[in-house]
């Protein structure tokens, strides 16, 4: 949608607005705008709900991954320390 808007000049926007006024009439345009606004709010609400659910379900997975990562790092450090101790002896 954004890329389409970038290629539309000011004159073309005015022409589209005039055509919309001719097709729908001046009384219907506010209703159309209101309906579009409601649709955009519902879409944004649904998008936020999906993001919330994804974050909620992936938080457990993220916690598990971080636990595994810290365990691997701890074991790696212990192995390095053991090797360093053996090399010093």
| Alpha-carbon gap, residue 77 to 71, rounded angstroms | 10
pLDDT at residue 68, rounded to an integer: 95
Q: What is the mean pLDDT of residues 8-12?
A: 81
Residue 55: strand, helix, or coil:
helix
Task: Enumerate the domain spans of the chain.
Answer: 2-88
41-68: per-residue pLDDT in tens?
Answer: 999 999 999 999 988 888 888 889 999 9
| Alpha-carbon gap, residue 26 to 37, rounded angstroms | 18
| Position with higher pLDDT, 28 vs 42 | 42
């Amino acid at each position: 949608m954004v890329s389409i808007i970038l290629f539309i000049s000011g004159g073309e926007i005015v022409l589209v607005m005039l055509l919309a006024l001719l097709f729908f009439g001046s009384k219907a345009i506010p209703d159309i705008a209101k309906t579009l606004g409601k649709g955009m709010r519902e879409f944004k609400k649904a998008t936020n709900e999906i993001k919330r659910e994804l974050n909620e379900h992936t938080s457990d997975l993220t916690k598990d991954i971080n636990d595994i990562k810290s365990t691997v790092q701890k074991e790696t450090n212990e192995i390095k320390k053991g090797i360093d101790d053996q090399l010093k002896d």
